[in-house]
Chains A and B, each alone.
Chain A
Amino acid sequence: MRDLRNRPGLLTGRLSTKDSSLTFALYALSLLGALVISGALVAATGGSAPDVLSALLDGSVRSPGAWGLTLTTAAPLLLVAIGTIVATRAGLVNIGQEGQVLIGAAFAAYAAVRLGGPGWVVVTGALLFGAVGGGAWAGIAAGLRAWRNVPEVLTTLLLTFIAFPLVTFGLSQAALIADRDTTRQNQLNTGEIIPGTALLPDVHLFGNAIDSGFLVAIGLSAVLAYLISRTLLGTRVDMLGYNPRAAQRFGVAAGPLSAAVLIGSGATAGVAGAVLLTGGAAGDRLVFGFSGNFGWDGLLVALLARNRILVALPVALIFAMLRTGSSFLAATGVDRKVTEVVQALLVLALLIPPAVLFIRDRRRALRSSNQKTPATAPEAT
């Protein structure tokens, strides 16, 4: 049992990079496999693979204004991913991002509609409210873990299924976030339209409108990447994730740090929700199901980035391309849901090589520890 504590798993372990050619070949092979299966799927549903690819590229980067939309879509994915990465590095399994995003969006909606004042105050307030909402939601899991030792993997997930009806309830109460416009026919279960002054401004570049939420995501990523790689906080987080008993012995208490990291990862998911709402990527008002799988997909981004913050950016961009590109698929006669399958295949393809390498490394380690047994370890049977 003790050994498990210091044995990194598939997600957090560093792979040996000695065989870079083997690693490359593995990735090439599994990506090729994913593409072949995707192509076969498209062909089977009556489409043509080149057409589909072309449509995906049109929708995500080639058509006018497309890449601006792609970057805007990447922002919440990246935000969710970086919080997840920090939590995973600390040895925590936060899988409740979808709920944290939704609660964050709901808090942001309240701020955007109810806070008065100049636009930048409202926008900043909305982002902060989002962070507080997401952080508080994850904070429930953090508290249960700290006081009652309840595994956060359960609580974060289950809290997601409480977040949905809770926000729906909020959308039914005028005192909370329900639409107060009585002239509308069906104002139940919808929030108020976010006023234009409360929206994150767009940055216009080469005819593309990029939501400044993307800049928020890039900025937060840079800050977290710095903290993780350069400061004592980062070393403490890694130490806690790799070996909590060594951490305890050398002055890093698991309790407060775990709680802070879990709340922090909820807060970044909450900011993602706020960016989603005030950036306009997911509509102009809070509605049921508003979080639109951004939480789950952000979790996958973190998984594929293998817990390196800087790698999360390109992965988030690819996921965003699949999302924006899928809207152009209708013309090819292929169901747009095919992108979800492609995305899933992509995830599998990118996870198989590290899994193979991990298993190989483990086998090697086992074999070499058998070798070393005579010289270095007690002659255990």
Chain B
Amino acid sequence: MVSVQDRPSPASVAVSVRGLTKRYGDVVACSNVDLDLRRGEIHGVLGENGAGKSTLMKVLIGLVQPDSGTLTVDDARVRIDSPARAGALGIGMVHQHFSLVDELRVWENVVLGERERLDARHARGLVESIGEHYGLGVDPDARVGDLTAGMRQRVEIIKCLRRDPSIVIFDEPTSVLTPQESEQLFGVLRLAVERENKAVALVSHKLDEIRQATDTVTILRRGAVVEDGPTARFDQQSLAQAMIGRAVSLRGDDAAALGATDIVVTEATAASGPVTAPTVLAVENAVFDRYGHRVLDGLDLDVRAGEIVGIAGVEGNGQVELADVLSSLVTLDAGTVIVDGVVVPTGRAGAMGTAGVGMIPEDRHDAGCVLDMSVAENLALASVGVGSWLRRVDRAKNEADALRLIDEYEIRCSGPDAPFHSLSGGNQQRVVLARELSADPKVLVAAQPTRGLDVGAIEFMGEQLRAAAARGVGVLLISSELEEILHLADRILVLHAGRIVGEMNRTDADVERIGLLMGGVTTDTTTTEGEADA
């Protein structure tokens, strides 16, 4: 790691932000923010979800117009009113969510949106030369849809770098990467600042990343800069405290939420694995094809009563489909699902729920709620599919149940009749949690349950999952946040390419090994699956 002191030349400021303020209604996303990105330096922007990181970066890339404040690029005052203008000023961004077209080849994606004449040979050469220069090897003729998340990010980076921007912003780039891929990425960033003297901004909410990869850091909290300076000046504790605004123990929940992997791992206590408890969920040899791709490929897993089983893995390796199967949304092509000893037919409407599978879905708006119904109706969804169609809806009971759950789960709403869509995201999540837990499930599946929540809400979710397990519910935690899994799970399964490629107890958890497994490297063979050069 290059520290600020050993930098060869005094860094020149590439972008300077002064007094930037952006309001959305009553919410202040950015308040009087100052930020300097210097050439030859990786600058970390650290903050919780909702701290204003994304808004700040969207201003730099021209997607959001600030209410006040000034922007200076290379000592000239500028107004960045569109991404095209940002591009002309030499600012490029690698987005958190890919902006690639699955059906097109790599080189086609890289030149997509260019105005000059299409030259396939030149474009292929470009992909190869940039790939070679930065160690971002990728086959220019591969179809993007066939690539792993890590390779797709390479394409995204090449697409950004081909315009040779002098200022590059990476927005939460590691959320789709294995730990090893993240390391590689940081190597690329280092190369870009050292060889090309670029200015790089790394946006993250993970302490480890900031400490590992950046030279200087700006910490945002509730839209305002609370600290900035050379990264070396901060230790994990002070970074965390600045980010959250209170002293944190850096133990347990907090550490997991902040992405402090080493602490989570060393802290793991011997899980009293309930090895004698009965199996409440077993998935056997699950096979599922979607659009001709085998997304579940002989997946086996089992969950015992009272334990939390974590499924680690890079997104897009079958997590969504596994959750869909356990929500009765899709029918398996082969394999069985057994809940509490009884085979449950997959894809039959409501069958999983009736059998005792609760679900906290990754996207609650997908199948977890009905936005246009009331809070009370949403809490009673599970009763809709049961019984004769002529049966009267028992509104008095629904309302009484809703009042009880609103109180018990501290759901903030105007009452049981409040339209569900009028609730904030956190309270919508509580409605889902209240409904699923109050149904007394045998199995609770939580798919990316803390995505987008702030630290307080993450802690609440963790407590609820642990409390459910303590009551004897078998909990299946599907998460791409490795810290979350390491922190909560008693047993860890690693999912890669639609099957479980490794299993370990938390006490023997080894981040290195989990990372390799997530990338498809199994311990007994050195050959890789799917991604040859990961």
List A residues at the B interface (Cβ < 8 Å): 2-3, 5-8, 12-14, 227, 230-236, 238-239, 242-243, 245-254, 365, 367-368, 370-381
Taken together as a complex, chains A and B put the C-alpha atoms of A62 and B93 apart, in Å, by 72
State the Cβ distance, B437 to closest chain A Cβ, in Å: 16
Can you sample 8 A-B contacts with CB below 8 Å?
Answer: A6-B365, A235-B377, A250-B353, A251-B350, A251-B386, A253-B350, A367-B25, A381-B95
**Interface of A, helix, strand, loop or mixed by DSSP:** helix
Taken together as a complex, chains A and B put the C-alpha atoms of A236 and B162 apart, in Å, by 53
Q: With contacts A14-B419, A381-B58 known, what are 13 further pairs, Cβ within 8 A?
A: A2-B365, A14-B372, A233-B390, A236-B389, A242-B371, A246-B366, A246-B370, A248-B349, A249-B350, A251-B351, A253-B348, A375-B27, A379-B96
List B residues at the A interface (Cβ < 8 Å): 24-27, 29, 49-55, 57-58, 63, 93, 95-97, 171-172, 223, 327-329, 348-354, 359, 363, 365-373, 377, 381-382, 384-393, 419, 421, 424-426, 451-454
Residue of A nearest to B429 (CB): A376
Q: Which 10 pairs from chain A and chain B are nearest by CB? A: A251-B385, A251-B350, A376-B425, A374-B50, A253-B349, A378-B452, A371-B24, A379-B54, A245-B367, A233-B389
State the Cβ distance, A226 to closest chain B Cβ, in Å: 10
**Interface of B, helix, strand, loop or mixed by DSSP:** loop
Taken together as a complex, chains A and B put the C-alpha atoms of A229 and B24 apart, in Å, by 38
Residue of B nearest to A5 (CB): B366
Known contacts A238-B373, A251-B349; A231 and B97 CB within 8 A of each other:
no
Q: Are the C-beta atoms of B384 and A375 separated by less than 8 Å?
A: no
CB contacts between A and B, total, < 8 Å: 167
* Contact partners of A245 in chain B: CB under 8 A: 329, 366-367
* Contact partners of B27 in chain A: CB under 8 A: 371-372, 374-375
Taken together as a complex, chains A and B put the C-alpha atoms of A243 and B378 apart, in Å, by 12
Residue of B nearest to A256 (CB): B349
Most buried by A among B57, B63, B372, B382: B372
Most buried by B among A227, A245, A374: A374
Residue of A nearest to B349 (CB): A253
Partner of B425, one of A234, A377, A379, A381: A377
Partner of B349, one of A238, A247, A371, A381: A247
Q: Are the C-beta atoms of A232 and B393 separated by less than 8 Å?
A: yes
* Contact partners of A235 in chain B: CB under 8 A: 377, 384, 393
Q: Are the C-beta atoms of B367 and A232 separated by less than 8 Å?
A: no
Residue of A nearest to B382 (CB): A250
State the Cβ distance, B168 to closest chain A Cβ, in Å: 14
Partner of B363, one of A2, A14, A236, A373: A2
Q: Are the C-beta atoms of A371 and B384 separated by less than 8 Å?
A: no
* Contact partners of B367 in chain A: CB under 8 A: 243, 245-246, 248-249
Q: Are the C-beta atoms of A370 and B371 separated by less than 8 Å?
A: no
* Contact partners of B452 in chain A: CB under 8 A: 376-379
Q: Are the C-beta atoms of B58 and A8 separated by less than 8 Å?
A: no
Q: Are the C-beta atoms of A375 and B391 separated by less than 8 Å?
A: no
Q: Are the C-beta atoms of B381 and A246 separated by less than 8 Å?
A: yes
Taken together as a complex, chains A and B put the C-alpha atoms of A8 and B52 apart, in Å, by 30
Q: Are the C-beta atoms of B370 and A239 separated by less than 8 Å?
A: yes
Q: Are the C-beta atoms of A250 and B365 separated by less than 8 Å?
A: no
Q: Are the C-beta atoms of B25 and A368 separated by less than 8 Å?
A: yes
Known contacts A242-B370, A243-B369, A245-B367; A230 and B425 CB within 8 A of each other:
no
* Contact partners of B51 in chain A: CB under 8 A: 374
Taken together as a complex, chains A and B put the C-alpha atoms of A124 and B136 apart, in Å, by 77
Partner of B384, one of A239, A368, A376: A239
* Contact partners of A239 in chain B: CB under 8 A: 370, 373, 381, 384
* Contact partners of B393 in chain A: CB under 8 A: 230-232, 234-235
State the Cβ distance, A308 to closest chain B Cβ, in Å: 14
* Contact partners of B387 in chain A: CB under 8 A: 232
Partner of A375, one of B95, B390, B424: B424
State the Cβ distance, A370 to closest chain B Cβ, in Å: 5
Q: Are the C-beta atoms of B328 and A375 separated by less than 8 Å?
A: no
Taken together as a complex, chains A and B put the C-alpha atoms of A235 and B394 apart, in Å, by 11
Q: Are the C-beta atoms of A381 and B97 separated by less than 8 Å?
A: yes
Q: Are the C-beta atoms of B392 and A249 separated by less than 8 Å?
A: no
Q: Are the C-beta atoms of B389 and A251 separated by less than 8 Å?
A: no
Residue of B nearest to A361 (CB): B421
* Contact partners of B386 in chain A: CB under 8 A: 251
Q: Are the C-beta atoms of B424 and A372 separated by less than 8 Å?
A: yes
Taken together as a complex, chains A and B put the C-alpha atoms of A230 and B349 apart, in Å, by 22
State the Cβ distance, A362 to closest chain B Cβ, in Å: 12
Known contacts A2-B366, A239-B373; A249 and B328 CB within 8 A of each other:
yes
Residue of B nearest to A374 (CB): B50
State the Cβ distance, A239 to closest chain B Cβ, in Å: 6
State the Cβ distance, B114 to closest chain A Cβ, in Å: 21
Q: Are the C-beta atoms of B350 and A252 separated by less than 8 Å?
A: yes
Partner of B96, one of A230, A252, A371, A380: A380
Taken together as a complex, chains A and B put the C-alpha atoms of A235 and B50 apart, in Å, by 36
